[in-house]
């Protein structure tokens, strides 16, 4: 046979396959989302996310040790307060749950990089990501609160803040507030292209943050849209975002790629709770192999252009990276 191109030549053995691999990954790109709750001595498993827990601050060391042993050095904190109110005051309380987790981690695990998710939905009695005016989330009123939350997180020791509310103008507002308070060096990772997604279902159980009425479609994006995602990303960069995010990751590889091609800042992809739950449940039912599918999903996000990968599988992935199962 006279075949001029034989792509199989480069697939003949594992050493060669690794040599010509196009996507390389590194543990330093992993971020682990971490839920913290009030109280003492608690480590509660999240029903819809087997293997994920809500930790009290006094038990945080357990998971922080595990992460360090696996080689994961960045966490993103989500707080679950006991007290919720109309304005989400627990989010900017200097002694709030995330603020205490940040202070504890900074003091005892200074080598862990601390990112604070910046939103109100876990702290509001109505479960929306902002201040209500009737049944509508008031954009500009919410900005004032986001500014307070950002400053209080930075004061408590956040290395980076990550606004996930999807209000217009929040990056500029947060940047100005951080700068005015002396936090000019605190980067903002903006959840820029964040879609109104059913993939967040398990998270809302974990954080008790499902909206009490309506949905988030007036602020999170319609998943049919691509140009709008690019518009959001561009706006956030103009307002001063240091890193932009596409969320979820699994069904949005096209946008991770488009954003990567368009911008000059690092791009993060968030593999969300529903992605994790689907893998766990399907693996438990014997339908798929958990480790293989986790690696394949991660590689697809990196191949699409993600520089940072936020995942509930961070520990397991770090091990696979070390063993050479991925990248």
Spatial CB neighbours of 15, under 8 Å, sequence gap ≥ 6: none
Query: Which part of the chain contacts ligand PBG (CB under 6 A), choosing from 23-31, 50-58, 117-125, 287-295?
Result: 117-125
Binding of residue 34 to ligand PBG (CB under 6 A): no
User: Does 194 participate in catalysis according to the annotation?
Assistant: yes
Q: Which residue in 46, 56, 98, 129 binds ligand PBG (CB under 6 A)? A: 129
CA distances from 295 to 63, 304, 318 (A): 22, 14, 10
Q: Which residue in 73, 105, 142, 273 binds ligand PBG (CB under 6 A)? A: 273
* Separation CA 101–CA 165 (nearest Å): 21
Smaller CB distance to ligand PBG: residue 141 or 204? 204
- Out of 247, 280, 322, 325, pick the active-site residue: 247
Which is it for strands 30-37 and 53-56: parallel, antiparallel or unpaired?
Answer: parallel
Is the N-terminal amide bond of 184 cis, ω within 30° of 0?
no
Q: What tokens does 302 get?
A: 């990196």
Nearest C-alpha neighbor of 30 from the set 277, 313, 324: 313
Smaller CB distance to ligand PBG: residue 121 or 298? 121
Smaller CB distance to ligand PBG: residue 29 or 273? 273
Q: What tokens does 32 get?
A: 């682990």
Residue reference for tokens 């594992």: 14
Interactions with ligand PBG, residue window 54-93 (CB under 6 A): none
Q: Is 274 in contact with 201 (CB distance < 8 Å)? A: yes
Binding of residue 119 to ligand PBG (CB under 6 A): yes
Q: Which residue in 35, 109, 200, 309 binds ligand PBG (CB under 6 A)? A: 200
Binding of residue 195 to ligand PBG (CB under 6 A): no
Q: Which residue in 204, 257, 260, 303 binds ligand PBG (CB under 6 A)? A: 204
Q: What tokens does 282 get?
A: 């399907």
Binding of residue 121 to ligand PBG (CB under 6 A): yes
Beta carbon of residue 117, minimum distance to ligand PBG (angstroms, whole number): 5
Beta carbon of residue 193, minimum distance to ligand PBG (angstroms, whole number): 13
SS3 at position 10: helix
Residue reference for tokens 């693996």: 283
Catalytic residue ranges = 194, 247
- What does the binding site for ligand PBG look like in residue numbers (CB under 6 A)? 117, 119, 121, 129, 164, 200, 203-204, 272-273
């Amino acid at each position: 046979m006279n075949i001029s191109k034989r792509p199989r030549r480069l697939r003949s053995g594992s050493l060669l396959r690794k040599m010509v691999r196009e996507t390389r990954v590194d543990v330093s790109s992993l971020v682990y989302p971490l839920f913290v709750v009030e109280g003492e001595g608690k480590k509660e498993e999240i029903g819809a996310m087997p293997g994920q827990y809500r930790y009290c601050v006094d038990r945080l060391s357990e998971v922080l040790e595990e992460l360090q042993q696996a080689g994961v050095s960045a966490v993103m904190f989500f707080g679950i307060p006991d007290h919720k109110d109309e304005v989400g005051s627990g989010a900017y309380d200097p002694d709030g749950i995330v603020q205490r987790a940040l202070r504890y981690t900074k003091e005892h695990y200074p080598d862990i990089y601390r990112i604070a998710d910046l939103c109100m939905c876990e702290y509001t009695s109505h479960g929306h990501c902002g201040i209500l005016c009737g049944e509508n989330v008031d954009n500009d009123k919410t900005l004032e609160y986001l500014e307070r939350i950002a400053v209080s997180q930075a004061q408590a020791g956040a290395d980076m803040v990550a606004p996930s509310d999807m209000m217009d103008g929040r990056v500029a507002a947060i940047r100005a507030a951080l700068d005015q308070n002396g936090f000019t060096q605190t980067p903002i990772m903006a959840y820029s292209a964040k879609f109104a997604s059913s993939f967040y279902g398990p998270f809302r159980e974990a954080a008790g943050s499902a909206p009490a009425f309506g949905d988030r479609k007036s602020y999170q994006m319609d998943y049919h849209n691509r140009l709008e995602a690019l518009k959001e990303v561009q706006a956030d960069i103009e307002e001063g975002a240091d890193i932009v995010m596409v969320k979820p990751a699994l069904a949005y590889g096209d946008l991770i790629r488009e954003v990567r091609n368009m911008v000059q800042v690092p791009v993060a992809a968030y593999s969300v709770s529903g992605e994790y739950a689907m893998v766990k449940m399907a693996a438990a039912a014997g339908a798929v192999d958990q480790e293989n599918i986790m690696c394949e999903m991660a590689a697809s996000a990196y191949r699409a252009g993600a520089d940072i990968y936020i995942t509930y599988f961070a520990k397991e992935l770090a091990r696979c990276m070390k063993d050479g199962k991925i990248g």
